[in-house]
């Protein structure tokens, strides 16, 4: 089950057991994976940032057979 929290300029969720979050900062959205800032990543929208975060979890998650 996913949890969801949102305030102006901040969005967070739980995805496949990982905490993902975005924070509006200046001209874009920063991304956090498991409470760790992902350096050199800045997105135009919160939705783009959330999509990238979910893709990172999917890439690093072990595949089930």
Query: Mind listing the pLDDT tens digit for each residue in 10-23?
Result: 999 999 999 999 99
User: How far is Cα 64 from Cα 35, in angstroms, rounded to an integer?
Assistant: 25
pLDDT tier at 1, thresholds 50, 70, 90 = very low
Asked if the model's pLDDT at residue 62 lies above 90, the reply is no
What value does the mean pLDDT of the chain take? 88
Give the residue, 10 or 3, on which the prediction is more confident.
10
Asked if the model's pLDDT at residue 5 lies above 80, the reply is no
Mean pLDDT of 24-53: 96
């Amino acid at each position: 089950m996913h949890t969801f929290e949102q305030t102006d300029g901040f969005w967070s969720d739980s995805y496949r057991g990982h905490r993902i979050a975005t924070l509006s900062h200046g001209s874009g959205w920063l991304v956090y994976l498991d409470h760790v800032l992902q350096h050199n990543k800045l997105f135009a929208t919160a939705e783009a940032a959330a999509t990238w975060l979910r893709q990172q979890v999917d890439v690093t998650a072990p595949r089930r057979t």
